[in-house]
Chain A
Amino acid sequence: MKIGSIEVKISVIAIAVVVVLTLILIITVVYTGDSRLLIWGIPTLVMLLLIPVALNYLSQRQYGELEPVYRSRAKNTRIRMINESMIGQVVRVEGVVERVYFQFLNRPQYLVADRSGEISVKMFTNPTETVKKGDIVEVLGTIINRYIVTGDPVINCVSIRKIKKA
């Protein structure tokens, strides 16, 4: 679904929640015969769909604006060179996607590896293109601690794109 130039996605979980709650609402209305439940029930279900869409649109727009900024500031690096002294640095790495997690939540995490090592790449919105295991990608992001204030370094990704190597 596109809003303007921005591709917006709603997660499977959000859709599943709306479907389940719709069924519960319908069953309740049929069982109790109280159609007044629909007065607040239907708007609530609509909001449960609209709010994730709106949040996704806002995050996609923000990440889209951030990408050129990050691209101009990013330092190319090899994955093995990333360490705690680089927390806060904006980096660009290239590698192969070895694993993909939580894609269905619109909060994907990737394990990206180059010849020197591998690192976790966390994204807090869905990427602009679908990235699968085995894809060769360019990652732009900031080095952060895995658990915000502690943990090993990971990449907080702003952009992950498939690239073609000669």
Chain B
Amino acid sequence: MKVTIVDYGAGNVPSVERALERLGAESERTSSPERISKAQALLLPGVGHYAALVRALDEQNMRAPLIGAIQQGVPFLGICLGLQVLYESSEEAPQLRGLQVLSGTVCGLPSNVKLPHMGWNQVAATRHSCLLEGIESSAYFYFAHSYAVLDSNGVPAATCSHGAPFAAVVEKQNIFAVQFHPEKSGDAGAHLLRNFLRIAA
């Protein structure tokens, strides 16, 4: 099985590639709508501004094939902004629409704490999580974001908290997403990516 990494220009694509390579997984990076339509498994990394991701998906005609593949049941993993874009919209760029495959909106984290939420934090599973299987509950993951899904209707598989609780791990059928960066989260992150590869195989 080959993982198709959606390359919209995010800075963390090379790190994701290296992380998959260390696990012995085959990957290709693409911005081609055709390649996305034919993918066996999809990974959408993301970092930076929500608008940059949404605009790139639209300008390069990747929106429809991405939604199509997700709806057809292709295993999908979203990282950071790749989680946020699954929802309806984001306060970071209110005029833009997300992929809308999950209901809920992305909001700014409260400003009574230091922002961005930057560094290593723990997550609390709310139910059984396939992505977190075999990972110690005390494990830390690396976060770097100021926006998050605070009011997710579909209960997340795990939450984290920084000023307010937010969705850290989302799992719904073939849709998997994490607010943190598994490619930057040491052994715990590698374990999570390995779990996704196993689910997708």
A, B: real partners: no
Query: Chain B interface (Cβ within 8 Å of chain A)?
Result: none
